[in-house]
Structures are given as structure tokens and as C-alpha cells.
Structure 1
Amino acid sequence: MPAMALQAIECITQGRELERPRTCPKEVYLLMQGCWQREPQQRMVIKDIHSRLLELVKNPPIYLDILG
């Protein structure tokens, strides 16, 4: 398993959140957070994830990396 996946699992099981990468649009990060809830019943259901992903494909977020 890739190191980043292990880091994500470790953070979630410890109740911590991974930081949003600088190049990650807010909309994508919010989707990720919905999948990272510690309690499975609090996580987004696949139907909602699918809907959000379709919206992101139809209306991609604009991201300007002004720090880079």
C-alpha cells in the first residue's frame, strides 16, 4: 500500500484530518473530507460521492496557485 494511503488511514483512525494540499481545489478537499469521517455512518454514501464527482466534471473548480 502506498505511503500516502497509510498516512491517510492513520490520520482517520486517530481522529485527525489531513491538510488540504496547496494545489487541491476546496471543492475536491470537501469531498475528500466527506469520505474521511472516522465513523462509517458519517461518511458520504457512494451515490452522493458520484453526484459530486459528476458536478466537478461538469463545472471544474478554478484554482490559481498564486504562491507557486
Structure 2
Amino acid sequence: MKKSKPKSYAQQLSPWCLLRLFPDRKPIIVGRFRSYNDAEGYLKTLRGLIPNASDKIIFDLGVQRQSTSED
């Protein structure tokens, strides 16, 4: 299992992430927000500008999985 990088302090302060989803590659983080309402407002604006884009709001828990010898 690949270890993820530790979250920075700024990332910890903004746990709500807006992801852009792609069918043929990994999603990318478009923005980070302190509140769900901020993320939702930004998503509504993006949907007005780019209606065919596939975006999703998630809460980044910041939990890191430990790699074991089985991975």
C-alpha cells in the first residue's frame, strides 16, 4: 500500500474538498473549504460555468492507513 503524505496545517483547517471526477484518471482537488456551505456555493458557481463537469464534495478525514507486510 502506498503511504499518503501527512496533511498540512492549512489542509487540516479546510477539510471540505471539491473534487473534479474524470472517467479515465484520478480525481483532482479543485478547492478546499472550511465549511460545507462554502464548498456548496463554489460548486453551484462551477456548475453554472461548466454544466457538464462531474464534481463532488467530500469531507477529508485525513486518516492515513498504515502499510502492512500483506500490502
Question: Fold conserved (TM > 0.5)?
Answer: no
From the two aligned structures, give the one with the greater strand fraction.
2
TM-score by length of 2: 0.32
TM-score between the two structures when normalised by the length of structure 1 = 0.33
Structure possessing the higher relative contact order (Cα contacts under 8 Å, 6 or more residues apart): 2
User: Of Structure 1 and Structure 2, which has the larger fraction of its residues in helix?
Assistant: 1
